[in-house]
Structure 1
Amino acid sequence: ISHHPPVSALHATDEEHNIELVWCHQCVPNFNGKRQLKLLSRGETYEMNSPNLLIKFLPLPGVDWTGNVTISCKENGLEAELRYGPKSFFGFRGSHRSVKGKVYETATKRTLFQLNGHWDRTVTAKDNNSGKSRVIYNAEEIFSGLKTPVVNDLKGVRSTESAAVWSELSEAIMSQNWEKAKEAKNAVEEKQREVLRERELKGTPWVPQHFSVTYTKDGGWECSPIQQWVPPAPIVLPLS
């Protein structure tokens, strides 16, 4: 929704269960911004920040999430603090892809649940009163059930859809044709630069189609979705 500063936005809704997710962030390379998960039928809004994405090349290449995340809900007076912790550089300390944290009452700071696990495996919640633990997140169950996106309406796929813009690059990567992938990537980037130059020559401001964006004098920004519900898309991800 914005190139300077680089801001991306996501708006997802589930009308059947009255759930809305708003996710706006700026990658520089940390993800600065906030997410909102709304349980509309309960009148609850959960605000949260994002952990930092860590990309490592040595001693072994890989990615990890690091940092602290706070999730808060003013309506029910609850907060959660999560700590994403990677291993140290040489792998002697820390736990790979670990998540630790707690859920507590905002007013009294009384801890209700202790959270522990790994974001690529399972996360458990231990009830401080009963001492009982249960699995609240299972990555294998979630990701094993993911389906391949399906094109429901080919004519409805616009030229600006990510799947269309990056189609040649995706095909080249899938076929492991790295030279073609490089050419396709450069072609997309150069086309976008050309579009930007034309817009600047005409003095046409960039206006996002689905989000409203406001900027502050100190370089800050706020974004919000224009539509209450996300309309049906030509490319869908089957849930069953």
Structure 2
Amino acid sequence: MFGGHGPHIPHVSGRRRGSTTSSRKSDEADRPDPTEDDTTVVDEGEKSMLLSIISQLKPGADLSRITLPTFILEPRSMLERITNFMQHPETLLPMTTVDDPVERFVSVVKFYLSGWHLKPPGVKKPLNPILGEQFACYWDLPDKCRAYYISEQTSHHPPKSSYFYLAPHHHIRIDGTLKPRSRFLGNSAASMMEGVSVLTLTNKGKPGIGEKYILNQPNIYVRGILFGTMKYELGDYVYVRCPETNLVAEIEFRVKGFFTGTYNAIQGTIKNEKTGEKLYEITGKWNEEMYIKNELTGRSELLFDATNAKPSLPLVRPISEQNEKESQNLWAPTISALLKRDQEAATDEKIKVEEKQRSDTRKREADGIEWVPQLFKPTDEYGLDYVIYANIDGKDPETLEKQVLAITPILPGSHSTGKFAIPPHQSHPNDVTHITGTEPDTGAKGAET
């Protein structure tokens, strides 16, 4: 339990490492202020374009196959947008230093809630990744250690974005697959954010397995498509669940009612699923201040202040070093046009990418080739669809780093060993695998490459 001073957030420590100055921050030059509001006013031409599209739809229609106008597109891919959830190291890194299981669970919930405020102003949708698209990046953390992120679009219909995060010196691993499913709802559109993330604290729980937290995501709603001002909202119920400790957080992202309520509110509880005991209540707004109330003492404390929180942006290799299917290189002409507000050029460049994908698909079908992901393989654990293909099981941080860096180019100066082909190079089996922690009590294996 917390006492009177709020959740314990220990000092982050670790081995020091010099930063690499030749890389660039992901979206650093073009990322908008995440604190700006979440409404969009479209002009008459844009409204007419939207109406011409949605007039052909019925409520409940699948939007995943609809070509949306570029003026509502965010200038980055979904694979890159997922990194929003790793951009507050001040909430992420201390989790493994907390000894008390309840306090540790609260620290995980704090991390989980800290990233939702990071979004472009207005109503923007990230670019849909093409099949086989990849995005990799890293962070130079406050203590000079590094964290790494690797992602790949493992399915196009239905869309599945698989990702892997590792902070070797902080004993943190995240595996996940995001499966957005879009629907037209009349004057609104919804992205049902299916899929889960599995956060593993590798220095807790059983050796070689770690302590796991299963997380899902709120759904995204865009109101006012036909009339009024377009508005972005997060909605519905989410959970954070730890099977090892029987603790669960059940949180509602509340959408505003027509006459009552407020925007961006959250309401939730933390309880012991085994005993039913309610431990904490969570209230506030996901884009402002969030509070946690100890049910035993009645004391309410600030959990996270999104208003004043500054993200730690990931670093990426220069575009000149990226291959043809890495996100920032793949979408560079489209993104450049979006940033210039040249909608005609953005549409043309986007179509080029999508037509190339269709052409590649036709080639594979003509040759009887089934596409498989290059960096991920199927799994059936914890509700995940895919897991990184390599064994990340080193018994020390240095070995873990070597294993991660052997998977795909991440740091400046590193390059792919070969081009993407049809089919892509298959260096791993496509059978179902299982995920474990990254710190077994036996010797380390090398990464499968």
Q: Indicate the TM-score class for this superposition, using the shorter chain for normalisation.
A: 0.7 to 0.9
After superposing the two structures, state which structure 1 stretch, 188-197 or 2-11, moved more.
2-11
Q: How does 1:1-240 map to 2 (within 5 A)?
A: 1-29=154-182, 30-42=192-204, 43-57=210-224, 58-88=227-257, 90=258, 92-142=259-309, 144-147=310-313, 150-152=315-317, 156-213=321-378, 222-227=385-390, 228=392, 230-231=404-405, 233-234=410-411
How many angstroms apart in 2 are the aligned matches of 1:190 and 1:154? 22
Q: Which amino acid aligns with 1:21?
A: I
How many angstroms apart in 2 are the aligned matches of 1:189 and 1:153? 23
Deviations 1:118-159, CA, capped at 9 Å, x for gaps:
1111211111112222222222343x2434x54445554121
- After TM superposition, the score normalised by the length of structure 2 is 0.48
Note closer, same or farther for the CA distance 1:151–1:12 as it changes in structure 2 (3 Å cut).
closer
How many angstroms apart in 2 are the aligned matches of 1:151 and 1:32? 27
Do the aligned partners of 1:153 and 1:234 also contact (CA within 8 Å) in 2? Answer: no
Do the aligned partners of 1:124 and 1:135 also contact (CA within 8 Å) in 2? Answer: yes
> Percent identity of the aligned residues?
28
| Partner SS state of residue 66, structure 1 | strand
| Partner SS state of residue 355, structure 2 | helix
Deviations 1:63-112, CA, capped at 9 Å, x for gaps:
11111012110111201100011112x4x222201111000011111111
Note closer, same or farther for the CA distance 1:152–1:164 as it changes in structure 2 (3 Å cut).
closer
Q: Name which structure has the greater RCO, CA cutoff 8 Å, separation 6+.
A: 2
Note closer, same or farther for the CA distance 1:77–1:209 as it changes in structure 2 (3 Å cut).
same
Do the aligned partners of 1:114 and 1:126 also contact (CA within 8 Å) in 2? Answer: yes
- Which structure 2 segments of 5+ residues have no match? 1-153, 183-191, 205-209, 393-399, 413-449
How many angstroms apart in 2 are the aligned matches of 1:151 and 1:34? 25
More strand by share: 1
Deviations 1:7-64, CA, capped at 9 Å, x for gaps:
1111111111111111212222212221111111112100122211111224321211
**Aligned residues between the structures:** 227
Do the aligned partners of 2:319 and 2:328 also contact (CA within 8 Å) in 1? Answer: no
How many angstroms apart in 2 are the aligned matches of 1:12 and 1:96? 31
Alignment RMSD: 2.2
Q: How far 1:4 sits from its partner (Å)? A: 3.0
